[in-house]
Homo-oligomer: A and B are copies of this chain.
Amino acid sequence: MHNTDKLKRILHKENLRYTQQRQEVWDEICASDEHQDAEGIYNSLRKRQVNVSRATVYRTIDVLVKNNLVRRLNLDDGRSRFENKTGIEHHDHIVCLDCRKIIEFMDGTIEKMQTRIAKEQGFEIVRHVHQLFGRCLDEKCPNK
């Protein structure tokens, strides 16, 4: 399904109108895989002459997150970052504390274990956060 159709589908489901601004915000999130924050999305749009207000960027992101088109990441740096969640397998993140490089990982065994652990404690998991912070061994990383 094309990105525009995904957007139209959730807007219809939520009884919201299809607007140019919402399309532009969603396009920007689809176009980048850099885990941009809201300000970054806003700046990227302005850079290519798209006039969308900050308020609309935030409001649109909320709709996209609520409807599972976008994932909100909290990487402990004081702002939310966003990634397109469609057509992508679930994964968690490893973050370099020096260069802020973000890479993705996924381990089915860990996923199953955490579900079991939660159940043993009387919880039904809705979502989880699993982030590994450390130092990468990349030559270009500033701490080398």
Contact B105 A122 (CB under 8 A): no
In the complex, which residues 90-124 of chain A have their Cβ closer than 8 Å to any Cβ of chain B? 94, 96-97, 103, 105, 107, 109-110, 113-114, 117-118, 121-124
Contact B113 A123 (CB under 8 A): no
Query: Does A11 lie at the interface of the complex (its beta carbon under 8 Å from any beta carbon of B)?
Result: no
Query: Does A137 lie at the interface of the complex (its beta carbon under 8 Å from any beta carbon of B)?
Result: yes
In whole angstroms, how far apart are the Cα atoms of A123 and B132 in the complex? 9
Report whether over half of chain A's contact residues are helix, strand or loop; otherwise say mixed: strand
Contact B122 A138 (CB under 8 A): yes
Nearest residue in B to A80 (C-beta to C-beta)? Answer: B76
Contact B96 A107 (CB under 8 A): no
Contact B135 A124 (CB under 8 A): yes
> What 0/1 readout, one digit per residue, does chain A (124-144) give for beta carbons within 8 Å of chain B?
111111111111111000000
Contact B123 A96 (CB under 8 A): yes
